[in-house]
Structure 1
Amino acid sequence: MSVTDPEAAAGSAPCRVPDTAARPATPALTPRLRLTLVVLLAAQFMLAVDFSILNVALPVIGEGVGFSPGNLQWIGTAFALCAAGFTLLFGRVADLFGRRRVFLGGLAVLGVASLVGGLARDPEVLIAARVLQGLATAAVTPAGLSLLTTSFPEGPLRERALGLNGALMSAGFTTGAILGGLLTDLLSWRWAFFVNVPVALAVLVVAPMVVKESRVRKRPRLDVPGAVSVTLGLLAVVLGLTRAGEHGWGSPSALVALAAGAVLLVVFYAVERGATAPLVPVGVLGKRSVAWGNAAGLIAFLTETSLVFLLTLYLQEVLGFSPLAAGLSFGVLGVGTVVGGTLAPRVIGRLGTRRTLIVGGAVQTVFTAALLGLGDERSWLGLLLVCTFAGGVGNMLVIVGFMVTATSGLADHEQGLATGLATMTQQIGITMGTPVMSAVATAGLGDGGTTAVLGGLKVAIAVNAAVVLLGTLTSAVFLRDGRAGAPR
């Protein structure tokens, strides 16, 4: 398959994304492929759970380990910085030095870090464990995704695998919030760390037997200047976003970090243009399926994760639910994402990736906008549940469509890069969502009270729906499904 996109190279026409109009019947999964799928999905689900499992437990962790209230947010920030900042680097390292090797090494680090975090008695040890968990996530996620895309050929099998992966990852975010509350209430917050250990051990035992190592015929030198500039740039951007969420968008520390990140990313682009063996070939960045596919994914993750934040405030601050009850209510959203992930391969097979992105975005837009009808009585919970379920289905159609678009039409030796970019998009979207929508909601507050809180949340929900619509329109304008036999 050619990896050249003549239209993208010319820059004069929208990108062709994988054709789905005239494909052969879906080949059957062999027993080995089924086991490979189970192993890789188990690892990705565990990583998704890790993103949210500590959120409910943070106050209890602070008391148990001795964190001051002002430093408590570093339990999440230390993880997010490393998970987002190093993912592109580790994705490329996996391409060069072996995806299975990076995948298994990252899992081993994750298991050890989780054990250390669960046993931690002081803040320094806990933060060190979170840093290691973030680094392990940055290694395992793109390596696991690239193993998934290279184990399953481009087409129906890969779409099915990516659909299940997307469904389980989104379900993992919801499961993490619920599981964190249950473990903290019934056992101890330490089990939010310990739960990773047996899963990591099981995958480490089975994976070497079923997952094949990638091979590189000619291994180029690692682009150190590019690796340093992009990693520092991403670290600065994520730090700026978290600072903005904590102290507001006018905070000097947030603005300085964001500006430094922007400068470093410009430096990275300049370095890549002149590098003989770039970390990220500029041609890949210029491929419209990669660029606009990742744009759709960024918006999908940003809007849905931030909507969960807004609705958590609504359930607790307006309707008066407990944190655990609020977390349990998002189980409906989790079901919606599983349904969406299951349906996505069939929808892509029938409509193509571009139309799937449009349909999914339209569904998410409509049901996000419908949340503007929420009131201050608990009878409105039914509307919330319906909208989060249907919106979750639409959001998952977009996420799977994004993953298929952003990783298709590239050679196997570039899959670590492609999945590294997609993982970076996911991490940045998750990190950006809450501070952006928190700032919008705060700006919309009135004089105080439940009515004012609801008004601010509705302003943020309206902006959220508008951003989803914008992402849908960009997919409609800049992407189109290829014809059978057309070059991709």
Structure 2
Amino acid sequence: MTEDLDRATVTAAPADALPAGSPRMTPRQRLILAVLLGAQFMIAVDFSILTVSLPVIGNELGFALGGLQWITTAFALASAGFMLLFSRIGDRIGRRRIFLGGMALLILGSLVGGIAPNPAVLIVGRVAQGLATAAVMPAALALLTTSYPEGPLRNRALGSNGALLSLGFAAGALLGGVLTDALSWRWNFFVNVPVGIAILICAPLVIAPSRAEQAKRLDLPGAVTVTLGLLALIYGLTGAQTHGWESAQTLVALAAAVVLLVGFIFIELRVPDPLAPLRVLTRKTVKWGNLAGLVTLSMQSGLAFLLTLYMQEVLGLSVFSTGLAFAVVGLGVFCGGLLAPKVVAHFGPRGTLLLGLGVQAIATGALALAGDRIGVGMTIVLIGSAIGGFGHVWAVVSYTITATSALPDSEQGLATALTSMTQQIGFTVGIPVLSAIAAAKIGTPAPAERAHAILDGVTFGILIDAALCVLGALLIGFFLRPKDLAASRA
């Protein structure tokens, strides 16, 4: 096969492979799902696998205390900043091509990070991993949505995808801690290599090549503007956690992001072949679906930070015990993902979105009752987090379905890039926002009052988290009406 297969052939392939009226996946579709979900799970793990290893890496390689955050920031900048650009390149050169190229870059970046002798080389490896993420995530999701006809099969695939993404993010810290304790922090990088090679070998055998019907000229002004704008946005958000929201560095970066992203919109209104056609961006399903995704993902990542602070600083748990607790959250997410297609089939994408945000809000709010007694506190944390995991993954799956449904294959690259970018920004924004809220409540207590003050700050942050989930559900319920989804299918 060649990459010059026209779009009509590729679009017809799933329908031809699946007998009419049958809800079962063919063996080929199962293989496609396994390959794409394997790649997505790797990417999700990479978000958090280095979290508990940062102090060890800093001590061994000689990172300055202020430079340690660049291990995380470099990855976030590259992945979110270039995602929209790479997705549109994939639409033009073939999504399978950019998927395979991204996987190859991920393997290379992981090798560089694993053998890094100094901070500079490790940061180069993390940037390569981030760029690979920007290429792989939207391409994998677009290949997934175009490999299954819209309906139960696609919903089942997206349910598995959402479950593994959330599970990978939750399990990354635990896996990183185990590898660091048992072997070395370098295996947090090396673990990607054999899995990546296996995906590189299998993907060309099961995934058909695809290409846009016409390779249009790339919107270079739009590409440069949106990439710089996203880089400034992520830099400002990640910097806020280190320097504070009122620092000049944070304010300048966020102001630059606003200017550049507004400029991007004006450019897209004027160019003949825009990078991101506004007819897609202004669809209610795309707009409100991604807003719901931003709420659920940012509040879940922020909650993980608050619970880490609570378990270690208030209850006195070790890093490893904290990681084990998050494994329970991951179990809830995984089980919720398995049920997600049935929930979507019963309630529809909009109803599942509202249900998911509602369950996440209630379960999160219940965590405010944890207190400072380890037995009661951990019981509430484990049960509440597991139940919240169900709601969270239902919201993730339904926002992905909502934001990518009823679009032609030629626009799936943009739609899936937006959902992937929402994931990146959501993972990034939740921690600085909720940490700032908690820090403002904690203040500067005396040493004897530190644990009590932290408990108050975490409790306040948890209540704000739950309130924002409720607000998100109310906005979706009011502005995204059932008729909007019906109209988008027409």
> Aligning the two structures, in what range does the TM-score lie when normalised by the shorter sequence?
over 0.9
Letter of the aligned partner of 1:430 in structure 2?
F
Is the counterpart of residue 427 in structure 1 residue 427 in structure 2?
A: no
Summarize the alignment of residues 145-184 of structure 1 with structure 2, pairs less than 5 Å apart. Answer: 145-184=141-180
Pairing of 1:265-344 with structure 2 (within 5 A): 265-344=261-340
Map 1:175-194 to 2 at 5 A.
175-194=171-190
Give distance in 2, aligned partners of 1:92 and 1:428.
19
Query: 1:356 maps to which residue?
Result: 352
The CA distance in 1 between the partners of 2:184 and 2:367, in whole Å, is 35
Distance between the aligned counterparts of 1:390 and 1:405, measured in 2?
Answer: 23
Per-residue deviation, 1:481: 3.0
Q: Which residue of 2 aligns with 1:201?
A: 197
TM-score, normalised to structure 1, is 0.94
Give the equivalent residue in structure 1 for 2:441.
444
Query: One-letter code of the match for 1:415?
Result: Q
Please say if residues 285 and 485 of structure 2, whose CA atoms lie closer than 8 Å, have aligned partners that are also in contact. no
Q: Would you say 1:88 and 2:87 are equivalent positions?
A: no
The 1:299/1:486 distance shift into structure 2, 3 A limit, reads: closer
CA RMSD after TM alignment: 1.3
User: 1:72-111 residue pairs with structure 2 within 5 A?
Assistant: 72-111=68-107
Aligned to 1:398: 395
CA displacement at 1:484 relative to structure 2? 10
For residues 123-134 of structure 1, the aligned pairs below 5 Å read: 123-134=119-130
Secondary structure of 1:189's counterpart equals coil
Instruction: Give the aligned residue type for 1:389.
Output: A
CA distance in 2 between counterparts of 1:442 and 1:216 reads 49
Report how far residue 239 of structure 1 moved: 0.4
> Relative contact order: is structure 1 or structure 2 higher (C-alpha 8 Å, sep ≥ 6)?
1
Deviation digits for residues 403-438 of structure 1 (CA, Å, limit 9, x no counterpart): 000000110011111010111111011110100001
Please identify which structure carries the higher helix content: 2
Tell me what 1:12 maps to: none
Counterpart selection for 2:415 from 418, 424, 431: 418
Whole-angstrom distance in 1 between the partners of 2:22 and 2:253:
48
Asked if 1 retains the 8 angstrom alpha-carbon contact of 2:236 and 2:250, the reply is yes
The runs of 5 or more residues in structure 2 that have no matched partner are: 1-19
* SS of the residue 2:481 aligns to: strand
For residues 388 and 217 of structure 1, what CA distance do their matches in structure 2 show? Answer: 46
Deviation per CA, 1:11-30: give whole Å up to 9, x if none.
xxxxxxxxxxxxx9652111
Cα 1:474–1:65 change in 2 (3 A) is same
3-state SS, counterpart of residue 321 of structure 1:
coil
CA distance in 2, matches of 1:455, 1:418: 40
Q: Which residue does 1:43 correspond to in 2? A: 39
Which amino acid counterpart does residue 34 of structure 2 have in structure 1? V
Alignment partner, residue 377 of structure 1: 373
Name the SS for the 1:352 alignment partner. helix
Counterpart of 1:143 (choices 139, 142, 149) is 139
Distance in 2 separating the partners of 1:367 and 1:343: 18
Note if contact 1:353-1:481 (Cα within 8 Å) is conserved in structure 2: no
Counterpart Cα distance in 1 of 2:399 and 2:488? 19
Q: Which residue of 1 aligns with 2:231?
A: 235
Does structure 1 conserve the Cα–Cα contact (< 8 Å) formed by 2:285 and 2:484?
A: no
> Matched residues, percent identical?
56
List gaps (5 residues or longer) in structure 1.
1-23
Q: 2:249 aligns with which of 248, 253, 262?
A: 253
Give the match's secondary structure for 1:57: helix
Contact 2:284 2:484 in 1 (8 A): no
What is residue 409 of structure 1 aligned with on the other side? 406
Contact 2:159 2:397 in 1 (8 A): yes
Answer yes or no: is the 8 Å Cα contact 2:406–2:488 preserved in 1. no
Deviations 1:325-383 (A, max 9, x none): 10110111101111111111111111111110111111111111111111111012101
Return the offset for 1:482.
4.7
One-letter amino acid matched to 1:282: L
Q: Report if aligned partners of 1:26, 1:156 keep a CA contact under 8 Å in 2.
A: no
